[in-house]
Structure 1
Amino acid sequence: MRRVLPALRESNGGLAVLAVTVGAGAGAGAIAFRWLIRTFTLLLSGHADYSAAGHAANPHIALLGRYFVLFAPVLAGLLYGPLVARFAPEARGHGVPEVMYAVARRSGRIGPQVAVVKSLASALCIGGGGSVGREGPIVQIGSALGSTLGMWLRVAQLRLRILVACGAAGGIAATFNAPMAGVFFAMELILRDFTAQSFGMVALASVTASVIGRTAFGDTPFLHLPAFHVQHLGQYALFALLGLLAGVVGVAFTRVLYAVEDLCDAVSRVPAWARPAVGGLALGALLLVLPQMYGVGYPVLANGVYGTYSVVFVLVLMFGKMVATSLTIGIGGSGGVFAPSLFIGAMFGSAFGQTAGHLLPALAGPPGAYALIGMGAVFAGSARAPITAVVIMFELTGDYTVILPLMAAIALATGASALISRDTIYTLKLRRRGIDLDAPVPAALLPGRTLRDVMEPAPTPLPEDTPLHKAEDRLSRARHGALPVVGSDGEYMGVLTAQAAAGTLTDERRADMTADIPVRELIFLPHVVTLETPLHEALDALVAAEQSGLPVLDESGLRLAGWITHQSLLAAVHKAHAVTRTVS
């Protein structure tokens, strides 16, 4: 065991084993989660999927007739509200932003209890009529599994982040039978980078989870969609217009979601644990009018794609889903927004296609094609994850002919969304808490401060013509593992690191040479920071540096003025925290 654990922590082979393990765990978690959803839906509604049952009664309590939907969300809220409030408040809401925050700001650390609480809370919420999706919960469940395994083994921070992404990818792959979408969802939204190592490990986890999911659910897509055909080149203009409008619809969904959440915050006067039950009455009233909003609603989505509903009714369903999902999240429910965005996109696309068919019957073609494109485009407009949107729609249809119009519509939807709104449906939740994932970590803690305020005195520099063997002694005693190098005129030239010197000296002495190479031939130029560089920008430069410190240059950028280290920045952060606590 003493040999096995270091290998798992440090080697690429060990990381691959962990990725497969996390993928297997996420696949098993997806199976359990879907079983919980079905079980609670049967218990609370009497149907496997009440959204397709119309105004049917719950056979368990037939005396209430269709009015049981007034109480199903309340009962579910009474169960999951205290559970979430007591054990894992981060399990409230749609889940993905919390995982994004954990990866970006907490080095991938997610509490192990989140997986259990999120599973129960989301399954109860969806089973009790909550109009949310299962992708957010399964992402958070899989990510919590990956984080828990990584923390237990005490892996490095970078590897812990990768394991969290592996869990997210595995959850998506298993629950939707979409392994490629799982990979790109994790890379595009969770890790937000595409390094070769992380891509390979996430792919391993996704494939493993998908195999497990297919063993349990069969090798079929979670939605059965009609065949796609582009019947006329002129349809591309209609698909482009649909993409632009879908980007607006995606932003509108985001705005409605958080506006309803603000409204719920404003009117709520009850403790957090009771809020889902009290707010459940409002959700139940909506379900009484529009039972198609009960749960995830995949059968209703499929009917919209196949053109079962009229233009007016699909628009009613589209706006109804926006409100129902927003209300479910606003009252403290637990569930995802990915499936609702697909639902909204399908209804909008169907309405667009039917309208185009009436206005341009010779050109438009079947409305189902527009519903398919609308699904991907609205998701891209709300989440701004175009690669994931393209891949998941391709995996759902299995039809390559969908790719060209889909890519065009999704690209336009993403662009339109970016023009209208800075944030996505995921990042806006974090920004409302004062968290900007695109900003360096301490920006909010250290406003207006520069390196002039916190830098240390610079080490005595080496002249550029110093022979390497003469610089050896000074480098061995250098506190930061590096020394600045200056030219004959005193201008800064770069940095000589102990690592570079040691490698060169070893090679030279092995060849019986005197190692009289001038240090100017071994210097490198790290990211340039000056006296006026903000502290949050300096942190990024330090993270990327090979050594433990960086030279600080004067305003001209030509001469050495000081030195900056992680310790000095940490001291500045600590001081800012202390001041904040004193003021508050």
Structure 2
Amino acid sequence: MTLSAAQPRTRLTAPRIRPESRAGLLLLSLVVGVGAGFGAIAFRYMIRGLTRLFTGFDDYAGLGHVANPNVSGVGRWFVLLTPIVAGLLYGPLVYRFAREARGHGVPEVMVAVARNGGRIRPQVAAVKALASALCIGGGGSVGREGPIVQIGSALGSSLAQLVRLDDRHVKLLVACGAAGGIAATFNAPLAGVFFAMEIILREWVTQSFGMVVLSSVTASVIARSILGNNPFLTLPSFQIEHLMQYPLFAVLGVIAGLTGVVFSRVLYAIEDACDWAWRGPEWLRPAAGGVLLGGLLLVLPEMYGVGYPVLGKAVAGGYAIGFLCALLVGKLVACSLTIGIGGSGGVFAPSLFCGAMLGAAFGQVVHSVAPTTGGSAGAYALVGMGAVFAGAARAPITAIVILFELTGEYSIILPLMLAVSVAAGVSHLVSHDTVYTRKLLRRGIDIDEPADARLRRRPASAFMAAPPESLRIDDDLRSVAARFATTGDSQLPVIDDTGNYVGVVAAHQVLDAVAAGESSDVLHLVDKTEPCPADAPMAEILRRLDRGEGAVPICDSDGALSGWVRHRDILSTLTQSP
């Protein structure tokens, strides 16, 4: 038996993975984790290289009043110039290419997720990395976690937009980038996950959690393979030696919670003062403000850069109480001044720094009063780190997890949980906002506000449609009835001979009049419904629509009809909004 025609061969092809499928999203989160991991590594090397370029050392903060070996003739006075030179470089860069890269970065990511569908411009990653590295390397007293969150988030957002994901999945990849950045920067994968879920996404969903974990683990593995498996800060181990320490940790939590709120208030008060004082071009502001920052560094060089060596020495008991208090106040001022003059860097590490100084000072006081039951001062410093961050950011889970990952000491968990929960509670009692949300509230953005409350505060002009063709007061009933038959509207506006709004006529009134045999004009059927101005809040419009009005007329100040709001106009606007 022979075949009369050759049979076509069946070609086997691999199934195509769609980006929005479960497998596609897992693959994308893996890619984001890889990008965030390498981005964090590159960012750390940039900071180290620029710090060495400006100071002659990999980390200048813990060295005291020493000269730059490359310009030894200048002595310790070189720190007056480094913030100015750095500001001359990153000021124009931020102003020209990505102004959202200014500041500490996390609020910009939060508002992108809460209001903009997670969309972040791709150039933000590169500009933020270079500007923050220049700022920190040049003496800016800020942290590297804010920049890496914004860098990782920008990478995730850019990839999601490239493959055309919807808003929900764009936000998810933004959180993956933030988690990967934190995990790789601090060698703390759990902290990266909880930071992204608690602060960036602000919700807990099983699918989101799995993808964020995958991205965080991937970034952490990459960072560990290159930077080593050591935590970003080496801390000694401590034990809780007496039950009487727990009430003391609760007291520390109260003080730390108030300190966290003060941290936020001082940060924005100094930023306001800088805004008020500066009258020149914005691109020159970091260099001009660098004069003040340089003067502070000359007096207190421990404020140079992030300051991890100083933090470690304080936890180990290397400073006296008076100097610890000076370092605490100095960090508050130096970090706030760096942000206020237009610098770029995070506030997470400065809050940990302030917490360590507060806790170490508190622990030394306790130890001097009750040396046998008070315990080690270093334990209070560790707990203070998490408690001040919890008071400033009101993110207790992240605060507990990151301190646990830093120490690896389970014995610190109970006092840490106690102090952090007390600090977060005190912060909530005395302040509505956090160090992250306060920046947004000052712009009129409340990301904690319910969606229906935001809708009710929006003006009518955001939802109004063009008014339908108006009736005239002398139109006869049959022509008006014909109009209603073709429009489908339940009400139509009526204007007078000058074109000004008079009122509305309902379809059922016209139907009743025509059925009764009336043949006069429409004037006697006009309902003199009060119009609203274009800036009237939607709460008023919704109240009138819910009361039974088919439409709410919008008039300008001259009485001319300018808009028309119905339930369907509101729904149409909401469904078209991003």
TM tier, smaller: 0.7 to 0.9
| 1:380 matched to 2:383 | no
Contact 1:442 1:536 in 2 (8 A): no
| 1:219 matched to 2:215 | no
Q: Secondary structure at the match of 1:8?
A: coil
| 1:400 matched to 2:410 | yes
What one-letter code is carried by the residue in structure 2 that aligns with 1:265?
D
**CA pair 55-571 structure 1, distance change in 2 beyond 3 A:** closer
2:178 corresponds to: 168
TM-score, length basis structure 1: 0.78
| 1:54 matched to 2:64 | yes
| 1:327 matched to 2:365 | no
2:374 corresponds to: 364
What one-letter code is carried by the residue in structure 2 that aligns with 1:280?
G
Q: Secondary structure at the match of 1:273?
A: helix
RMSD: 2.9
Using the alignment, how far apart are the partners of 2:68 and 2:361 within structure 1? Answer: 32
Contact 2:95 2:282 in 1 (8 A): yes
| 1:39 matched to 2:64 | no
Using the alignment, how far apart are the partners of 1:52 and 1:571 within structure 2? Answer: 55
Contact 2:455 2:538 in 1 (8 A): no
CA apart distance, 1:107: 0.3
1:91 corresponds to: 101
CA apart distance, 1:10: 1.9
| 1:269 matched to 2:272 | no
Bigger drift between 8-17 and 32-41 goes to 8-17
Match of 2:117 among 80, 101, 107: 107
**CA pair 321-537 structure 1, distance change in 2 beyond 3 A:** farther
What one-letter code is carried by the residue in structure 2 that aligns with 1:285?
G
Using the alignment, how far apart are the partners of 2:56 and 2:402 within structure 1? Answer: 31
| 1:26 matched to 2:36 | yes
CA apart distance, 1:59: 1.3
CA apart distance, 1:449: 6.8
Post-superposition Cα deviations, 1:211-270, rounded to whole Å, max 9, x if no partner, equal 001011111111111112110001000000001110000001111100110111111121
CA apart distance, 1:568: 3.8
Using the alignment, how far apart are the partners of 2:182 and 2:165 within structure 1? Answer: 24
Post-superposition Cα deviations, 1:39-80, rounded to whole Å, max 9, x if no partner, equal 100001111100011111111111111000000000000000
1:342 corresponds to: 352
| 1:292 matched to 2:295 | no
**CA pair 439-369 structure 1, distance change in 2 beyond 3 A:** same
Post-superposition Cα deviations, 1:166-221, rounded to whole Å, max 9, x if no partner, equal 00000000010000000000000000000001000000000000000101111111
CA apart distance, 1:109: 0.3
1:242 corresponds to: 252
Bigger drift between 359-368 and 279-288 goes to 359-368
Using the alignment, how far apart are the partners of 1:157 and 1:4 within structure 2? Answer: 28
What one-letter code is carried by the residue in structure 2 that aligns with 1:570?
T
Contact 2:105 2:149 in 1 (8 A): yes
Q: Any residues of structure 2 matched to 1:404-483 within 5 Å, and which?
A: 404-440=414-450, 447=457
Using the alignment, how far apart are the partners of 2:568 and 2:449 within structure 1? Answer: 20
Post-superposition Cα deviations, 1:538-580, rounded to whole Å, max 9, x if no partner, equal 99xxxxxxxxxxxx8659xxxxxx9845754628999xxxxxx
What one-letter code is carried by the residue in structure 2 that aligns with 1:420?
V
Using the alignment, how far apart are the partners of 2:14 and 2:164 within structure 1? Answer: 13
Using the alignment, how far apart are the partners of 2:18 and 2:173 within structure 1? Answer: 12
CA apart distance, 1:5: 11
Q: Secondary structure at the match of 1:253?
A: helix
TM-score, length basis structure 2: 0.79
Q: Any residues of structure 2 matched to 1:169-188 within 5 Å, and which?
A: 169-188=179-198
Contact 2:238 2:376 in 1 (8 A): no
User: Any gaps of 5 or more consecutive residues in structure 2?
Assistant: 1-12, 466-536, 549-564
| 1:232 matched to 2:242 | yes
Using the alignment, how far apart are the partners of 1:272 and 1:6 within structure 2? Answer: 49
Post-superposition Cα deviations, 1:79-131, rounded to whole Å, max 9, x if no partner, equal 00000000000000000000000000000000000000000000000000000
Using the alignment, how far apart are the partners of 1:300 and 1:349 within structure 2? Answer: 14
CA apart distance, 1:8: 3.5
Using the alignment, how far apart are the partners of 2:230 and 2:448 within structure 1? Answer: 38
2:151 corresponds to: 141
Post-superposition Cα deviations, 1:498-555, rounded to whole Å, max 9, x if no partner, equal xxxxxxxxxxxxxxxxxxxxxxxxxxxxxxxxxxxx858999xxxxxxxxxxxx8659
1:209 corresponds to: 219
Q: Secondary structure at the match of 1:123?
A: helix
Percent sequence identity over matched residues? 62
Using the alignment, how far apart are the partners of 2:357 and 2:569 within structure 1? Answer: 52
1:69 corresponds to: 79
Using the alignment, how far apart are the partners of 1:282 and 1:404 within structure 2? Answer: 42
1:132 corresponds to: 142
Contact 1:75 1:128 in 2 (8 A): yes
Post-superposition Cα deviations, 1:441-499, rounded to whole Å, max 9, x if no partner, equal 6856853879xx979xxxxxxxxxxxxxxxxxxxxxxxxxxxxxxxxxxxxxxxxxxxx
What one-letter code is carried by the residue in structure 1 that aligns with 2:205?
T
Using the alignment, how far apart are the partners of 2:397 and 2:152 within structure 1? Answer: 21
Using the alignment, how far apart are the partners of 1:141 and 1:264 within structure 2? Answer: 26
**CA pair 189-448 structure 1, distance change in 2 beyond 3 A:** closer
Paired residues, number? 480
| 1:279 matched to 2:282 | no
CA apart distance, 1:326: 0.2
Q: Any residues of structure 2 matched to 1:485-504 within 5 Å, and which?
A: none
**Bigger Cα Rg:** 2
Post-superposition Cα deviations, 1:365-384, rounded to whole Å, max 9, x if no partner, equal 11000000000000000000
2:362 corresponds to: 352
What one-letter code is carried by the residue in structure 2 that aligns with 1:270?
G
Contact 2:464 2:570 in 1 (8 A): no
What one-letter code is carried by the residue in structure 2 that aligns with 1:242?
L
Q: Secondary structure at the match of 2:19?
A: helix
| 1:312 matched to 2:322 | yes
Using the alignment, how far apart are the partners of 2:19 and 2:354 within structure 1? Answer: 43
2:573 corresponds to: 570
1:303 corresponds to: 313
User: Any gaps of 5 or more consecutive residues in structure 1?
Assistant: 456-533, 540-551, 556-561, 575-584
Using the alignment, how far apart are the partners of 2:14 and 2:281 within structure 1? Answer: 48
Match of 2:202 among 167, 192, 195: 192
Using the alignment, how far apart are the partners of 2:247 and 2:225 within structure 1? Answer: 42
Q: Secondary structure at the match of 1:223?
A: coil
Post-superposition Cα deviations, 1:274-333, rounded to whole Å, max 9, x if no partner, equal 000000010000000000000000000000001100000000000000000000000000
**CA pair 143-362 structure 1, distance change in 2 beyond 3 A:** same
Contact 1:445 1:573 in 2 (8 A): no
Contact 2:355 2:381 in 1 (8 A): yes
